[in-house]
Amino acid sequence: MAATVEQLRRDTDSGRTRDKVSGSDPAAAPLGADEEAAGTPVSAKQVELDRQNTVDAPPRSGETGGKWVYVTIVAVIAAALIGAIFIMR
């Protein structure tokens, strides 16, 4: 069965492409609508290639655990607030 643009959209909405968190994302112009309107719909081969490169692909070398960035930011803010409390006393 050939890959479709709708499958790619569902992959993205489910979070499998790591572009966003899982959740519905209603679009004013759904994925592939511009190409279809122009009379040049996306081929199944192009969609399948994109799915192979994005869906459940191994993390790229520059990707790190995003949660650690947030944990670090929260820890720095907490330390700054605690420091400010002791300074104000």
- Tens of pLDDT, residues 3-27: 778 888 888 777 777 777 777 767 6
Tokens of 34: 């511009």
Low-confidence ranges of the chain (pLDDT < 50): none
Number of Cα atoms under 13 Å in the Cβ half of residue 70? 3
Domain ranges for the chain: 5-63
Q: Does the pTM of the predicted model rise above 0.95?
A: no
Q: Determine the pLDDT at residue 65.
A: 61
Residue 47 CB-density burial (10 A; 0-12 exposed, 13-18 middle, 19+ buried): buried
